[in-house]
Structure 1
Amino acid sequence: MDIYTLLQILLATIAATSAMTLFSYAISASFRELYKEPVLLTFLLTQLKIDVSIKTKATLAWVLHYFIGFIFVLIYHFLWANNILKLSILNAILLGSISGIIGITGWMIMFKLADYKPNIDFKGYYIQLFFAHIIFGLVAALFYYLTLTIILIAKSNVTI
């Protein structure tokens, strides 16, 4: 993997994870519920009894949130780069949906293992999480495509 590809994956990760997170924060505000993944991750880290400050746990939660996004985009890249899936809106929705199901399953497992039961509407949380991942998939595909175009231009030394 060259530096251009890594940069492409990183930019798609930042854009997609940020868009997904903004969606979750907007839904949280609209429904007056706690659907904010980084906040819930902070609470889960608190359950692990790690001997660091709450601020450090919050920072770790944000880093973990974006790292998970990076893993998803890395998988998307593998699928697109190897022509397993075409880079398209429909496939972005498909990947987002699959990621949503994986995300929901992951959260269910984390809540169960940590024995942490936040006072939230779980059904509502999982529904918004599913749609948040569809947004993630769409934004990841869009930024992947845009950066791919820029990279191809940069590699061909074409001036605009």
Structure 2
Amino acid sequence: MELLLIFCAGILGTTIMTGFSHLVEMLSGHKFNEAHLLNQLIDLSKTFKGKVDNNYYLGWLIHFLIGISMAAIMYVYYFHFNKDIVIWTGLIFGLALGVIGVAGWSKIISNHSNPPKINWTYFFLQLILAHMIFGITVSWVFARF
């Protein structure tokens, strides 16, 4: 039952986070969809052969697996170290995950031979907000179930 809860929280959190990123992308005209950018990184890599479009399964799979993993970390914290699940904790968790996400993306693009040409500063700012939404969503799921 615990694995199902973590899975569902991770999927819902990642879906809502991605929806937020997509909405901000549509409103701003900047590229923010994390799965699409992962697919662009795959497509632009020297080691991957073939054409990868925005909706290639691998970028989406990586994105959702990371979300489920982050939900698992939050679960361990909530149910093994701190029994109080509050939205503020989710917000702080999301902020921390956003900073970790920025560090991860920074490392990826600095080591990539041909990263996508986007405004990375805007992406990183949006990414922190998106992760805060993720943290709130996952905390809400854990508090309800």
TM-score, structure 2 normalization: 0.92
**Structure 1 moving runs of 4+ over 6 Å:** none
Change (3 A) 1:57 1:21: closer
Aligned residues: 144
Question: Is 1:45–1:57's contact at 8 Å kept on the other side of the alignment?
Answer: no
**Corresponding residue to 2:27 among 27, 30, 34:** 30
Q: Deviations over 1:72-118 (max 9, x none)?
A: 00100110111247311111011000000000010010111113332
Percent sequence identity is 25
Q: Which deviates more, 79-88 or 37-46?
A: 79-88
Question: Is 2:10–2:64's contact at 8 Å kept on the other side of the alignment?
Answer: yes
Change (3 A) 1:22 1:74: same
**Corresponding residue to 1:10 among 3, 7, 12:** 7
For 1:56 and 1:25, locate their aligned partners in 2 and report how far apart those are by CA, in whole Å: 12
Amino acid at match of 2:60: W
Q: Which SS does the other structure have where 1:49 is aligned?
A: coil
Q: Which SS does the other structure have where 2:81 is aligned?
A: coil
1:106 corresponds in structure 2 to 104
Amino acid at match of 2:95: S
Change (3 A) 1:131 1:139: same
Q: Find the structure with the greater CA-based Rg.
A: 1
How far did 1:124 drift? 0.9
Unpaired runs of at least 5, structure 1? 148-160
Q: What is the root-mean-square deviation in Å for CA atoms of aligned residues? A: 1.8
1:72 corresponds in structure 2 to 70
2:57 corresponds in structure 1 to 59
How far did 1:143 drift? 1.2
Unpaired runs of at least 5, structure 2? none
For 1:43 and 1:59, locate their aligned partners in 2 and report how far apart those are by CA, in whole Å: 12
For 1:85 and 1:130, locate their aligned partners in 2 and report how far apart those are by CA, in whole Å: 25
Q: Deviations over 1:101-143 (max 9, x none)?
A: 0000100101111133322121111100000000000001111
